[in-house]
Amino acid sequence: MAADRNQQALRDNCRADSESDSYRPPLKLGVVRQQLAQQYISTANAPMSISVIVPAYNEERYIGETLNHLNRAKDYLLKRKGMSTEIIVVDNDGTDSTASIALSSGAKVIKESQQNIARARNVGAKGASGSLLVFIDADVIVPESLLWRISEAMKDEGCVGGAVDTIYQPRKLWLKAYLQVWRLFGKLAGMAQGATQFCRGDIYARLCGYDETMYMGEDVDFYRRLKRFAKRHHARVCFIQEIQVIPSTRRFDRWSFWRTLVWTNPLFIIIFRRRKGPWKEWYRTIAR
Ligand SMILES: Nc1nc2c(ncn2[C@@H]2O[C@H](COP(=O)(O)OP(=O)(O)O)[C@@H](O)[C@H]2O)c(=O)[nH]1
Ligand SMILES: [Mg+2]
């Protein structure tokens, strides 16, 4: 209970801070999030440089292809704008060859022993040197123009961050149609998931990063807070629709129709996102 109260105080503190007009370093934060806050205050006016953060748990089957595509996007940006990109893979307590594949693809690898997707994202941000943070999941294929397109969107100083349209390509037709409905609904509701999200480093710090008390939906929550921050400060988020990223459908491919209906239901996610139990498939018997 005391731990819960502490986490609640932490969240309130971040909320108060991101809603105030002048920046105060947040109090009572966990170590990672406190260091994050301090790190990025100074990057507010720096010229744009990009750090891509890939949280990864036992991703040996997917991460090689993800990083190949990311390296292509990195080269494209370098060619078109002369802008270099840092790629960081956060090995979240993995036991397979994810880290060595990442190293041989030229990425920087950071280890994090506490299994939590939000924490892996925050640890990556803490180790990043770029002024713009781009979060990409380890099972997501990105188009060559991705980083260039994001850097173009962020030329607009009023844009604090955003996300990229995400499209699933499962084999089952009903699943394809179902996921397409959620995609359209998400767009109408102004929601965005974490397959690819981005944020200015200083704003990320003001929001205290991803909420580590959540085991699921931390990405949708972050985007919601980013939007709220933008609204309060008369700024905006940029949702990029002209290109799409493609996550794997590994979980959906194994699930029954009913299971899919329950586990993708936003209400179910909101009710249980702070409990680890319902998310065994993410934190114990993991589909890979
Ligand atoms: N499942 C899981 N993914 C993790 C963990 N830590 C980091 N990740 C990464 O978080 C991202 C999203 O996880 P994923 O299993 O693909 O979840 P999904 O996209 O919601 O189906 C992937 O890049 C994972 O490798 C962890 O402890 N469990
Ligand atoms: Mg995934």
Strands 85-92, 196-200: pairing kind: unpaired
In percent, the amount of the chain with pLDDT more than 90 equals: 72
Q: Pick the ligand that lies closest to the CA of residue 248.
A: 2
Residue 77 lies in a domain: yes
CA distance 68 to 57: 18
Q: Which ligand approaches the C-alpha of residue 281 most closely?
A: 1
- Return d(Cα 122, Cα 10) in angstroms, integer: 15
**Rounded percentage of the chain residues whose pLDDT exceeds 70:** 83
What 3-state class would DSSP assign to 149? helix
What does the pLDDT read at residue 257? 87
Q: Cα–Cα distance between 53 and 124 in angstroms, integer?
A: 6
- The per-residue pLDDT for 25 is 39
Is residue 8 pLDDT above 60, yes or no?
no
Q: Tell me the average pLDDT across 141-163.
A: 96
Q: Using the predicted structure, report yes or no on whether residue 23 has a pLDDT greater than 90.
A: no
Mean of pLDDT values over 166-172: 94
Shortest-distance atom of ligand 1 to CA 283:
28
Convert the pLDDT of each residue in 234-254 to its tens digit. Answer: 999 999 999 999 999 999 998
- What is the domain count for the chain? 1
Question: Does residue 288 form part of some domain?
Answer: no
Residue 166 lies in a domain: yes
pLDDT of residue 22: 44
Categorize the per-residue pLDDT at 208 as very low, low, confident or very high, splitting at 50, 70 and 90: very high
Give the pLDDT confidence score for residue 145 in this predicted structure: 98
pTM: 0.88
Instruction: Point out the ligand 1 atom lying closest to the alpha carbon of residue 57.
Output: 25
Torsional sign, CA 5, 7, 10, 12:
negative
Which pLDDT band holds residue 283 (cuts at 50, 70, 90)? confident
Among 22-26, 74-78, 223-227, where is mean pLDDT lowest? 22-26
Sign of CA dihedral 117, 1, 222, 269: positive
- Mean pLDDT along residues 200-220: 94
> Which one has a higher pLDDT value, 1 or 188?
188
Give the ligand whose atoms come closest to the C-alpha of residue 284.
1
Q: Please report, to the nearest 10 degrees, the dihedral formed by the alpha carbons of residues 122, 123, 127, 130 taken in order.
A: -20
pLDDT over 90 at 45, yes or no: no
Distance 57 CA to ligand 1 centre (A): 6
Going from the Cα of 16 to the center of ligand 2, the distance in angstroms, rounded, reads 32
Domain assignment of residue 241, given as a range: 2-283
DSSP 277: G
Contact 199, 235 (CB under 8 A): no
For residue 141, how far is its CA from the centre of ligand 1 (angstroms)? 15
CATH number at residue 107: 3.90.550.10
Q: Is the pLDDT of residue 232 over 50?
A: yes
Is 274 inside a domain boundary?
yes
Residue 37 has pLDDT above 90, yes or no: no
Q: Please state the rounded mean pLDDT for residues 29-37.
A: 59
Averaged pLDDT of the chain: 87
Q: 41 pLDDT exceeds 50?
A: no
In this structure, which residue's CA is closest to atom 21 in ligand 1? 251
52: β partners: 87, 134
Query: For residue 156, how far is its CA from the centre of ligand 1 (angstroms)?
Result: 31
Confidence at residue 3, expressed as pLDDT on a 0 to 100 scale: 46
